[in-house]
Amino acid sequence: MLPHVDDFLLNLQANKYSPRTVYNYERDLNVFSGFLDESGVVFDNLDKRAITYYKAYLVSRDRKTPGSGRQGERQLDSRSVNRMLSALRAYLRYLIDIDHHCPLAPEAVKLTKAGKRHPQVAELEELTRLVEAPSTLEPNVRTALRNRAMLEVLFATGMRISELCGLNRSQIDDSGRIFITGKGRKQRFVYLTMRARQHLDAYMATRDDNCPALFIPYAGRNVAKPARRISANYLQDRIKRYREKLRINVPTSAHSLRHGFATYLAEQGANPAALQILLGHESLDTTTRYVHASDKYAEETHRKYHPLGKPT
């Protein structure tokens, strides 16, 4: 057991970190504790050499492919490794803050070099087909209206799937502006398009209940509960099915709609600072990494702005 780790987690809770974030810190520090046990390294003797071994330990770890139930299908990527290293850094900083013995400066835990991944975003035509898919692929009318409304709202606002599933009816007004509390308890406005509002109204016209949730399930164990709401897993599964039936070959998820929202607004000339606000990012750097700079946009920018682009 790492010294004062329970106090560290309690401190996170006291500073209003979400339960999910606290759980992630606990899980990542358990991995570090497991490394110490396996390698025979005493925490009080932690040094840079041990951190190097820990990085190698993390890189060699296998993770489960979702739904497979088996280990060994793919290795931890650099982002996952850096998340675990960041958790260790935060823990070491906490030990210093409470004047407890800290064997190694947090700055000595260097993150690994993360390879740049080119975000995969389906073409606008394919994303549009995906958003419209429930209207033709869902045999139940109410389900079709609800699922179409969910996808329309996702793509119209750029919100996260957790934010969508957490929406209440009271958050929707006639202005098309929605006030939400997102990741890290950050609050912001997102905005419905007229098209999204049209499909949301069509869905709401089928509701005759008093359930506060905006999107509710029509089947399953919780269907009779007053506090029922649609789950993120359900929506992800439906998107996967729609994508397969539509034969969209680019990996596409609810998060892809958020990527697409940012990408195609950027292609239309949206200000990065405005996108930062709409996406709920704390840093503009996050937004610029997040937005998929498409080849099409790059080509148009080159042709439009190159000083010697015109023929002589």
Active-site amino acid positions: 160, 183, 255, 258, 281, 290
Q: Among 221, 253, 232, which residue's Cα sits nearest to residue 165? A: 232
Locate 36 and state its tokens: 């110490």
Q: Which residue has the tokens 């600072």?
A: 273
Question: What is the rounded distance in angstroms from the CA atom of residue 74 to the CA atom of residue 115?
Answer: 16
For residue 170, the 8-state DSSP code is: G
* Phi and psi, residue 74, nearest 5°: -155, 150
Strand residue runs (E) in 21-129? 62-63, 74-75
Question: What is the rounded distance in angstroms from the CA atom of residue 160 to the CA atom of residue 236?
Answer: 12
Question: What is the rounded distance in angstroms from the CA atom of residue 110 to the CA atom of residue 85?
Answer: 8
Question: What is the rounded distance in angstroms from the CA atom of residue 297 to the CA atom of residue 124?
Answer: 13
Asked whether 78 and 114 are in contact (CB, 8 A), the reply is: yes
Asked whether 41 and 132 are in contact (CB, 8 A), the reply is: no
Asked whether 31 and 44 are in contact (CB, 8 A), the reply is: no
Locate 45 and state its tokens: 């003797």
For residue 107, the 8-state DSSP code is: G
Locate 121 and state its tokens: 């975003």
Asked whether 156 and 196 are in contact (CB, 8 A), the reply is: yes
Locate 290 and state its tokens: 């997040």
Question: What is the rounded distance in angstroms from the CA atom of residue 189 to the CA atom of residue 287?
Answer: 17
Residue 149, Cβ neighbours under 10 Å: how many?
23
